[in-house]
Every structure is written in C-alpha cells, then in structure tokens.
C-alpha cells in the first residue's frame, strides 16, 4: 500500500509505493496532506492493475493523464501507465511556436500573424530557448522594448499574442506559469487607419474594374466578406439564386448565410455567365497569391478611377458594410451576417460617416444649440 511522508529537506511531500517488489518514491512537491493521500490512492489502483494485468480504474487514468509531464514519465518508467512518446510536444520556443501555429485552423492571415509572432519572439530569445527558462522579468523587459519600438496598439497586440502562446504551453503542461500574465495588453486602439468608404466611391471603382474584380469589390463592400479568405472559399453551389442568399464558408468563423443584396447580384450573374464549364470556384484567379495580387489590383483600379487609396483596403470596405447595417437591421442580425460579435464590431468595425455629422447638425439646430439657446438636456442642478 502506498504511503506518504514529508521531505523536510525540500519542503514538500513524497509518496512511496512498492511496484513488483521494488520500492518507488514519487516527489509531489508542495501539496496538502489530503492531496497527497488522493495521489497515494491512485498509485495503489494503478499498481494493482499493472500487477494483475487488468484495466486501471477510469479515475486513476484520468489523474495520470492530467498529471505533470515529469510524473507521467515516472509512472511510465515504472510500468504503471502507457509509455509517453518522446517529444510529443516540443519544449523549445521556436519549435513550440511552429507547432502551435500549425494546430490553429484558420485563414492565410492567421498563419501570417503567427509567423510574425514567431519572428518577434526569436528576436528576443533564441529558437532553442526552453520555454521553462523564460521568466516574468524577461517578459516585462520584452514588453517594454515593444512599447518603445511600436505604437501602443501594435505593442499590446504582440504582448497579447505572446500571452496566448504561453497559455497554450501551460495547457500542454510544458510550463506552470505564464511569464506574460502580468504584462499590460490594453493598448490604445489605433483609429487613424479607419476609413468609411461610401457607395459613390465604390461605384466609381466598380466602373473601372473588370467583372471579376467588380464582383469582388461589391461582395467586400455590400456583403461584408473577409478578403481574401472568404471569396477564395466560395463555390458556385454556395450561391442560391432562387432564395437570394450566399453561403459563406469562413476559415475563421465557420458557415454563415448572407443575403444576395441588389448591389451584388448583377456582378455575380455576370461572373457566372463568364465562368467556364465545370468551374467550381467563383473566384479562380491568382488563388495562390490572392492576398497580394488582389490588393495590387485594387490599388490599380483606384488609380484608374482617380481615387486616393485608403489604409487597410479590404478591411475598411468590410467595416463600411457593417456601419451601414447598423441603421438597417438589428445588431444580432448584422453579427450573424458578418460573422463577428457586437464587441468586435464596436472595437474594429464601427465607422463615423459624413451622415453622422449631418444628422448632428440637424439635431443641434432643432434643439436651438446652433442659435445659442441653452440645450434642453437637463443638468445636475436642474434634475
């Protein structure tokens, strides 16, 4: 029967068990006596199952599967649990970042994002650096350097990505604490690159584009598609002409159904007429380099239309679509059609339009503010 005893030299508990006539001792660390007794009970059940060649109880297996990697390897060496594959999860910074990025199911932009995260990490630590050697002090130092090098919003985003990566390492039981847990990730959101693209501007662009890019621009602006990932996933069977809907297969958020608005339908119909027999993809040009090629083409179309290009070309078209939907449909409907939450929309998609300023002018003159009359809104002293 397993027994527990306190190791005063290390200020913690050990549990001893005799496995096939050999005494084994397992270091548990700083654990309560009741917790050590629970571990001793699990070891007794694992030992009995191993010596009688019977299946271990489910609770003991569940404990062993969730135990620290060091403990699981000891149990494996003693023959109490199945052997653990060596290096199932890489323990060095570069390899773990590669593994984590490859496990993420997402669009091309997601893979690019984590490639950028990896690049920044290996600028501060070597690729071969063990995750367990990175301390909270190291993390604070790197966070300060990032705030010196980049805008607060970008620095905060990078620190947030670092924190996410090390949180995943904790779940893999490679480390016990997240060194970035105390780092501030509340950077000021950069509004300088947010622009509202009105319909007349989009119509000028579409007039200068061929049917392929006219449909792409229309879907980004009037249906709110994420470019390039969502158009790349579109097949012709996703377009329901009779119902007037389009099924969007988003690598980021899954399936959603959006209306085929009148501003998009004629462009899709023209593209369908030009499609070759047996063509499955709606957008079949430059598929391997869509992120750069489609952006370059939009810049060319803007120059042809005499339009000064705006920041975040495709993202601001999608955000302008969300802004228009705010006044047309309930919030939950706009969320369902564009595939994000109200919180995300408020942070990244809402845009201030000229109509908002015009409406404010109308309200001000009606209230008398424009003529110098006191606003009818009650002050604290008059309530």
Residue 324 and residue 296 share a domain: yes
Picking from 69, 65, 67, the residue whose alpha carbon sits closest to that of residue 86 is 69
C-beta atoms surrounding 281 within 10 Å: 14
Structure tokens at 352: 């201030």
Angstrom distance (rounded) from CA 28 to CA 145: 38
User: Per residue in 11-29, pLDDT tens?
Assistant: 888 888 888 888 888 888 8
State the greatest distance between any 2 C-alpha atoms of the chain, in Å, as a whole number.
97
Q: How confident is the model at residue 370 (pLDDT cuts 50, 70, 90)?
A: very low
List, in sequence order, the alpha helices (H) in 104-228.
108-124, 136-149, 152-171, 199-207, 211-222
Contact 326, 337 (CB under 8 A): no
Picking from 168, 154, 162, the residue whose alpha carbon sits closest to that of residue 117 is 162
Residue 229 and residue 337 share a domain: yes
Angstrom distance (rounded) from CA 66 to CA 299: 53
294 in any annotated domain: yes
Residue 320 and residue 347 share a domain: yes
- What is the number of structural domains in the chain? 3
Bridge-partner residues for 245, per DSSP? 240, 259
Angstrom distance (rounded) from CA 82 to CA 19: 15
236 in any annotated domain: yes
362 in any annotated domain: no
Residue 234: pLDDT over 70: yes
Instruction: Name the more confident of 105 and 65.
Output: 65
- What pLDDT is attached to residue 369? 34
User: Whole domain around residue 305: which residue ranges?
Assistant: 199-352
13 in any annotated domain: yes
Residue 208 and residue 278 share a domain: yes
User: Per residue in 291-302, pLDDT tens?
Assistant: 899 999 999 999
| Residue 383 CA: distances (Å) to CA of 178, 233, 377, 378, 379 | 50, 57, 10, 6, 6
178 in any annotated domain: no
379 in any annotated domain: no
User: Per residue in 170-198, pLDDT tens?
Assistant: 888 888 899 999 888 776 666 778 899 99
329 in any annotated domain: yes
Residue 281 and residue 204 share a domain: yes
Q: What average pLDDT does the chain have?
A: 85
- What pLDDT is attached to residue 355? 81
Structure tokens at 202: 């989009």
User: Per residue in 88-109, pLDDT tens?
Assistant: 667 889 889 888 887 775 566 7
Structure tokens at 161: 């990505």
Structure tokens at 56: 């271990």
Over pLDDT 70: what percentage of the chain? 90
Picking from 366, 213, 369, the residue whose alpha carbon sits closest to that of residue 295 is 213
Burial of 96 (0-12, 13-18, 19+ CB in 10 A): buried
- What pLDDT is attached to residue 8? 79
Picking from 85, 78, 12, the residue whose alpha carbon sits closest to that of residue 51 is 78
CA 46-172-141 angle, to 5 degrees, is 140
Residues 6+ apart with CB under 8 A from 306: 204
Residue 130 and residue 57 share a domain: no
Long-range interactions of 64-71: CB distance < 8 A, separation 24+: 68/173, 69/173, 69/174, 71/26
Residue 377: pLDDT over 80: no
User: Per residue in 330-339, pLDDT tens?
Assistant: 999 999 999 9
291 in any annotated domain: yes
- What pLDDT is attached to residue 382? 33
Q: What's the pTM value of the predicted model, to 2 decimals?
A: 0.59
Q: At 246, phi and psi to the nearest 5?
A: -130, 130
Residue 109 and residue 69 share a domain: no
Indicate the range of 5-9, 140-144, 362-366 predicted with least confidence.
Answer: 362-366
Domain at 317, CATH number: 1.10.443.10
Residue 204 and residue 348 share a domain: yes
- What pLDDT is attached to residue 362? 54
Residues 6+ apart with CB under 8 A from 57: 45, 49
User: Per residue in 203-215, pLDDT tens?
Assistant: 999 999 999 999 9
- What pLDDT is attached to residue 192? 78
- What pLDDT is attached to residue 188? 60
- What pLDDT is attached to residue 189? 64
Residue 73: pLDDT over 90: no
Residue 102 and residue 65 share a domain: no
- What pLDDT is attached to residue 365? 43
Long-range interactions of 87-93: CB distance < 8 A, separation 24+: 89/172, 89/174, 91/130, 91/131, 91/132, 91/174, 92/127, 92/128, 92/129, 92/130, 92/131, 93/121, 93/122, 93/125, 93/126, 93/127, 93/128, 93/129, 93/130, 93/131, 93/134
Q: Position of tokens 């109509």?
A: 355
Residue 334 and residue 203 share a domain: yes
Residue 146 and residue 57 share a domain: no
Residue 323 and residue 260 share a domain: yes
Residue 79: pLDDT over 90: no
């Amino acid at each position: 029967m397993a027994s527990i005893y306190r190791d005063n030299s290390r200020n913690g508990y050990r549990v001893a068990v005799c496995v096939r006539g050999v005494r084994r001792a397992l270091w548990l660390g700083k654990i309560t006596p009741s917790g050590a007794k629970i571990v001793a009970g699990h070891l007794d059940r694992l030992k009995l199952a191993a010596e009688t060649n019977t299946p271990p109880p489910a609770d003991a297996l569940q404990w062993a599967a969730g135990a620290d990697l060091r403990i699981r390897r000891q149990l494996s060496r003693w023959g109490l649990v199945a052997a653990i594959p060596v290096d199932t999860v890489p323990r060095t910074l570069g390899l773990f970042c590669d593994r984590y990025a490859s496990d993420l199911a997402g669009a091309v932009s997601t893979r690019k994002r984590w490639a950028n995260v990896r690049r920044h990490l290996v600028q501060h630590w070597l690729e071969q650096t063990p995750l367990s050697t990175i301390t909270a002090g190291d993390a604070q130092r790197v966070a300060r350097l990032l705030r010196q090098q980049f805008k607060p919003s970008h620095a905060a985003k990078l620190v947030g990505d670092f924190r996410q990566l090390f949180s995943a390492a904790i779940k893999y039981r490679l480390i016990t604490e997240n060194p970035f847990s105390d780092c501030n990730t509340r950077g000021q959101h950069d509004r300088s690159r947010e622009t509202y693209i009105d319909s007349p501007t989009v119509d000028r662009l579409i007039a200068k584009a061929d049917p392929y890019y006219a449909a792409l621009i229309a879907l980004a602006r009037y249906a709110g598609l994420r470019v390039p990932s969502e158009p790349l996933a579109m097949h012709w069977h996703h377009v329901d002409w009779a119902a007037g809907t389009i099924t969007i297969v988003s690598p980021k958020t899954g399936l959603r159904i959006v209306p085929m608005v009148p501003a998009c339908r004629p462009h899709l119909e023209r593209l369908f007429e030009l499609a070759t027999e047996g063509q499955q993809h709606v957008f079949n040009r430059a598929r391997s380099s869509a992120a750069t090629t489609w952006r370059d083409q939009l810049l060319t179309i803007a120059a042809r239309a005499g339009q000064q290009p705006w920041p975040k070309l495709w993202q601001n078209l999608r955000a302008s679509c969300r802004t228009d939907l705010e006044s047309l449909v309930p919030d939950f409907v706009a969320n369902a059609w564009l595939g994000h939450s109200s919180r995300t929309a408020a942070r990244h998609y809402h845009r201030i339009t000229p109509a908002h300023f015009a409406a404010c002018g109308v309200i001000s003159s009606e209230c008398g503010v424009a003529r110098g009359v006191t606003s009818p809104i009650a002050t604290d002293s008059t309530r």
